[in-house]
Amino acid sequence: MGGVVGKGDTPRHSSAATKLEQKMVEAMQQRAQEGTSLRSFNSVIMKFPKIDESLRNCRIIFQQFDEDSNGEIDQLELKHCFQKLDISFTDEEIKDLFEACDIYEHMGMKFNEFIVFLCLVYLLNDPAVSEARKRMGLGNLEPTFETLVDAFVFLDKNKDGYVSKSEVIEAINETSAGERSSGRIGVKRFEEMDWDKNGTVTFKEFLFAFTRWVGLDENEDDDDDE
């Protein structure tokens, strides 16, 4: 697994928790109470190839939303998408969703940022969003998104909706008991996830790290055109 931040990009450092982010934390706290079937960090790693293949299939949905085919989905395109799907989101809610996923502040969601968007839409399980999932063709992706939720729940040992450095180290140690390098590996994995450097990892930060861990690249569009 490589580093998360690359190619000279600097991710957004947002300290203020939006209503959307609070809803994410509350949703993860609720899911954590249900528990997870994962028993080791290695069991998460073993699922990488299947998750990678499933997420790459989201490109068709991405291209449908990218109206000007410039490789990014801007806020207006996202609003148009919701209108086409007849989803009643307010402008503020759309703005929150967009800003939560446009982590590099490009004013447009790249493919890997769009993957995070889809997973957050999946997590926010209210009636409007549930209907949107069906219309967006996310039915086949639900097992993949469930795996991502399970992986975060596995790391969130105290079930508070956040992951700390000590929790990541504990998770790595459970897999690599007795290995001297396990502590260093845990610290490295945590640093790859903790983009705003505040000492805790949200589900959104975890998702962005995961898209890089499985090999998704926001510049894949350039490769596809060659």
C-alpha distances out from residue 216 to 2, 119, 211, 212, Å: 11, 15, 5, 5
Q: What is the pLDDT of residue 179?
A: 59
Q: If DSSP codes are grouped into helix, strand and coil, which group holds residue 208?
A: helix
Q: Which residues contact 220 (CB under 8 A, 6 or more apart)?
A: 111
- Burial of residue 158, with CB atoms counted within 10 A of its CB: 0-12 exposed, 13-18 middle, 19 or more buried: exposed
**DSSP H or E run through 163:** strand 163-164
Other CB atoms within 10 A of residue 221 CB: 18
> Per-residue confidence of the chain (226 residues) as pLDDT tens digits?
444 333 334 444 443 356 777 888 999 999 998 888 888 888 888 888 888 888 888 888 888 889 999 999 998 998 888 787 767 777 887 888 888 887 777 778 999 888 888 888 778 766 556 666 666 666 677 888 889 999 999 999 999 999 999 999 888 887 665 556 667 888 999 999 998 899 999 999 999 999 888 877 545 444 444 4
Q: What is the pLDDT of residue 185?
A: 85
What's this model's pTM, rounded to 2 decimal places?
A: 0.80
User: Count of residues for the chain?
Assistant: 226
Q: What is the pLDDT of residue 177?
A: 57
Using CA of residue 106, residue 146, residue 194, residue 21, what is the dihedral sign?
positive
Q: What is the pLDDT of residue 186?
A: 85
Q: Which residues contact 35 (CB under 8 A, 6 or more apart)?
A: 153
